[in-house]
Structure 1
């Protein structure tokens, strides 16, 4: 077999599609379901639950304004059933996408030797191998960790927890807290350091006060023990106990163990991530890796980008990866989307995850500007409560190049994606006059740029 891909999540699935389009013989091996963590246990599940959460929050807001009245009950069990049913439909689409390009898909756990891969007693030799096995939840080594829930348990819950304690201060902690507090859970966030430390303080403050106002947030707080229906923490020398389920949202670990037999120790960093060059190659030029298994920016669009690029290189069409101004988002009552002008090197120590959110040149003279959101789709009825969102941008005063931008608004995901493209291409903000936004819109940062 010329090309074998292990893992059919965003990186592996897109790599298979790209190889198929290029007419390359390709075999995909998937242990569980097509789509990886994103579709089955991650961001798509968050999207589905957040749709319901937003509906409930909008209903409460309209009631306060006297626009509607009436009781609504949610069936968490039925929400889970319909999510699983929708996933099965998408599995079929993903399967058809690859097999229609003459790719073969095998389900089962793969075993690797130097030039072979086997599944269920069947063995294939490979010329090029792509390892796209993703990651797993990182579980801190604390007493009672077996009682902690992770993203892999969301669809196993039978009902909405009455009380939920979330370990972690990252994006996933914010998203989970928003969903279950909207569903009626009493939610505590237990952050070992600062909550959402990667965000600008003004943006974080808006999120805490306006989007997570029903969530209790405890920063600089250590978790000492997890019990079946309780968590024990310590803050400033004081021990506290919070009843309820505990959800662990403390990051991801690369699922790279499968590669230990065929790669050298130097091919792994200290977290177990597979090191690759800018062609997505390991030290063995015929072994590639892409997606979360390589560490770095654990985002589905990045995994897709890496998978496609690896596939092109496997087919002999050489391309180099660049991580520059990657847009990101947090799905809350309103989306929080942001992009920072960066040069990210996933194999450089000290420049992983957090550092990709920092502007590299600290000597630049930047000017910060901010503006509240405006009325528009999803934002009109928020005017009366003065929580229409906020946009904040930073630009180089000498070059007029945009350095960073964050927007909290109903349309920020698509808006920031386009803005990040303009940032990557080096578009001067004085030329933003040529951009005409679609009206009605809930973001005003184009006008901000125009009238600086």
Structure 2
């Protein structure tokens, strides 16, 4: 006889766990099913281990400037030590996720789940669960291009478990994951090349962020090749021979595809029960995460809305509030702060200059560039950049973009006044903390330039 629940959540990642815990705390009888490890992409093979790798890769820069502060450093790097310590931390976090779910009264299952009806879920163990509602939170999976030899390449999933650190690596892609891993590997001493089929990295970001990071990657020795893509991979001794779209070939120790992620809906049985999917395979949902089948909901990357862990968490919480706390709640997708943990780091919230100029007749743009104080005693010339975009008539802040140390930390706090429709006058009213980089955001005296009807001019 099958067990009955108010809610069955498929997927034990950030969005699913938040929805399951909150729904249980509101009195629902909840089960959650995970086929791999609790914690999902972010905790197990995404942003958490990536950030640990980022920290590891940044020590080289610190060692470079250390002599200017009087330190003599004789350091070496050991890849197996990093892997072992990362694995121990991920295991600790996984246990925390399971403990929190158990403490909330959620019933945990391990295995593959298939939706067999609007109110039924079958597990790979053969068990069947009855549910008044089903929530799909299976996230996304890395994409590999359909080319010959694609299996010789790795994705971000495998990058966290390489037995040895390659001497050379080719990364294909131009988004978050591509540029983050390019700086990780380069920072750990790997000869790194990045190829991208378009003409510049980080499509959709503000042009000053894109240009600034591109320059920094060049300075760190990362080779950027635009207008290229991989057409074929072949085994070449211990390495991988890459055939490019331009009929060129080269061999690397490792090849990594960072060409995006796809919603993980394959094999879940969703289409058979009438759940609508879009062309990318994402579940189509309304503002309250409800699918075309009223009893089936979805949150997180599987919906294709905004593939970011904090967004998945907010969606999971909004679902629980709406369905089990009688408080209809939506997510503010129009103002999502985000960070790219490249080197230098990026923090951004609101509109890019290009988007702001397209939406508003007149905008003021404030930009400053300077060497971070950490570098001023050395010969490092890399600069950080802070940029504030406001509407000319009202002074309302439309976008803030930061490139440099601590950008991610800064942008989280900037998101607060942005969400309150803060103005340039509000920023000016804040007293600066000196000496910090962030003080530049509250000490801009006049616009660097103005954009009126799409044309740059003096303010």
- Whether TM exceeds 0.5 here: the answer is yes
Unaligned 5+ runs, structure 2:
448-459
1:423 matched to 2:432? The reply is no
Residues 30 and 109 in structure 1, CA contact (< 8 A), matched pair in contact too:
yes
Residues 348 and 411 in structure 2, CA contact (< 8 A), matched pair in contact too:
yes
- CA change 1:273–1:197 in 2 (3 A) is same
Residues 140 and 302 in structure 2, CA contact (< 8 A), matched pair in contact too:
yes
- CA change 1:88–1:234 in 2 (3 A) is closer
Which residue does the alignment assign to 2:457?
none
Instruction: Give the alignment of 1:73-222 within 5 angstroms.
Output: 73-114=76-117, 115-119=119-123, 120-194=125-199, 195-213=201-219, 214-222=221-229
Separation in 1 of the partners of 2:372 and 2:171?
33
Which residue does the alignment assign to 2:451?
none
Which residue does the alignment assign to 2:49?
45
RMSD across aligned positions (CA): 2.3
1:30 matched to 2:34? The reply is yes
Which residue does the alignment assign to 1:223?
230
Which residue does the alignment assign to 2:398?
403
Which residue does the alignment assign to 1:443?
438
Which residue does the alignment assign to 2:278?
269
Q: TM-score, normalised by structure 1?
A: 0.89
Per-residue deviation, 1:385: 2.5
- With 359-368 and 385-394 compared, the bigger mean Cα shift is at 359-368
- CA change 1:287–1:67 in 2 (3 A) is same
Separation in 1 of the partners of 2:110 and 2:382?
48
Per-residue deviation, 1:209: 2.1
Separation in 2 of the partners of 1:374 and 1:54?
17
Which residue does the alignment assign to 2:344?
334
Separation in 2 of the partners of 1:220 and 1:183?
27
- CA change 1:360–1:41 in 2 (3 A) is farther
Separation in 1 of the partners of 2:432 and 2:312?
29
Equivalent residue in structure 2 for 1:323, among 321, 333, 357: 333
Unaligned 5+ runs, structure 1:
343-356
Which residue does the alignment assign to 1:12?
16
- With 316-325 and 108-117 compared, the bigger mean Cα shift is at 316-325
> Number of matched residues?
433
Residues 138 and 302 in structure 2, CA contact (< 8 A), matched pair in contact too:
yes
Instruction: Give the alignment of 1:323-362 within 5 angstroms.
Output: 323-341=333-351, 358-359=355-356, 361-362=358-359
- CA change 1:443–1:388 in 2 (3 A) is farther
